[in-house]
Amino acid sequence: MRSPKETCVSILIVNYNRREDLERCLHSIYAAEPDVFYQIVVVDNASNDGSVAMIKGSYPTVVLIENENNVGLVKAYNQALTVGDSKYVMLLDSDTIVEEGAVSRQYAFLDGNPDVTVLQPKLLNSDGTNQKTARMFPSPANALFGRHSILSRRFPRNPWTTRYLRNSLHESKEPYEVDWVSFACTMFRRSILDHTGFFDEDYFVYWIDADWCKRVKDAGGRVFCLPSATVHHLESNQPHRKKTPRSIVDFHHGVYLFYTKHYVKSVLHPMRWAAGLGLSFRALLLLSQNQFKPSWSVRRNA
């Protein structure tokens, strides 16, 4: 249900040259027919692939913000947050497919559980497997045992990966609490922004979700995953796919920002320097490996 006068959920999408993905995403929202009043806001970061024309022609009720250049995911989301005054906000990547009931179930859960602040549905890969993006805050060990690391793929049951990804809970049918969730699809109470502020624009794309969830938790909020609501995320950030050099650098820069902002604030702390050197080495290693991977045309929304 859509009503400009009685909006319960604002669905925010950032787009950059993802016309086909965006069109599929928008179609899935309307096809799912959420049983709540909602508004869709799309921020376009100067796409040149016909995205804007598609929105204006096929989805005239979508609120469209057109940027003159690519300001990145984070700044674009902050722009979208200034639109409307809905009780709840839903962040959605353009490369997602919203299943029937996903929006309505998240809304109903938040409305019925006032102690929950942030909520993610079960995010699925295109083949239906769980993306395991509802997890604990990372530790230094996750540089080796992260979601896509070689060691995690070779030894998926190791204790560091198991704890970080909350592997014991991902097949649960009941809602469960975690530290942070992916902004690929996340619904939250708009009122929490009074305590956390908007998203930190020192980040460009990666790790803003972990950063903001940390600020939510520090403010006393709770973060949950709702398995009964499902969204498919056709994620391009897969280990076997070639990435842009910028995305590799931005990912590691985001990790460094998160670690130094929340755990090692002193510029003189030796762990700060160790983290910088370690992440720089890891980024250089991945950049060298990346050139031998097959090209992949899909890019993240930034």
Q: Which amino acid is at 237?
A: N
Cβ 13 vs Cβ 25: under 8 Å: yes
268-284 pLDDT, tens digit per residue, is 777 776 777 877 777 78
Cα four-point dihedral sign 103, 109, 113, 119: negative
Instruction: State how far the Cα of 102 lies from the Cα of 223, in Å rounded to an integer.
Output: 17
41-78 pLDDT, tens digit per residue, is 999 999 999 999 999 999 999 999 999 999 999 999 99
The domain defined by 9-233 carries CATH number 3.90.550.10? yes
Element (DSSP H or E) covering residue 289: helix 270-290
Cβ 138 vs Cβ 146: under 8 Å: yes
Query: Phi, psi (5° rounding) for residue 103?
Result: -70, -45
DSSP conformation letters of 125-172: -TTS-B---SBPPP-GGGGTSSTT-HHHHH-TT-HHHHHHHTTTTTT-
Coil vs helix vs strand at 202: coil
CA distances (Å), origin 188, targets 105, 192, 207, 228, 237 = 13, 8, 17, 17, 24
pTM: 0.85
Residue 194 has, within 13 A of its CA and on its CB side, a CA count of: 6
Coil vs helix vs strand at 52: helix
Cα four-point dihedral sign 270, 273, 275, 277: negative
| Token duo for residue 248 | 């590799």
Query: Phi, psi (5° rounding) for residue 122?
Result: -75, 120
Cβ 24 vs Cβ 97: under 8 Å: yes
Residue 288 has, within 13 A of its CA and on its CB side, a CA count of: 5
Per-residue pLDDT of the chain (302 residues; tens, 9 = 90+): 554 557 899 999 999 999 999 999 999 999 998 889 999 999 999 999 999 999 999 999 999 999 999 999 999 999 999 999 999 999 999 999 999 999 999 999 999 999 999 999 999 999 999 998 998 887 665 555 455 555 555 656 665 565 666 666 777 899 999 999 999 999 999 999 999 999 999 999 899 999 999 999 999 999 999 999 999 999 755 555 667 888 888 887 888 888 888 788 777 777 776 777 877 777 788 778 776 656 544 444 44
Average pLDDT, the chain: 86
Residue 47, Cβ neighbours under 10 Å: how many?
A: 20
Q: Which among 94, 296, 46, 76 is positioned nearest to 205, based on CA atoms? A: 76
Cβ 42 vs Cβ 22: under 8 Å: yes
Q: Which among 231, 201, 211, 214 is positioned nearest to 302, based on CA atoms? A: 201
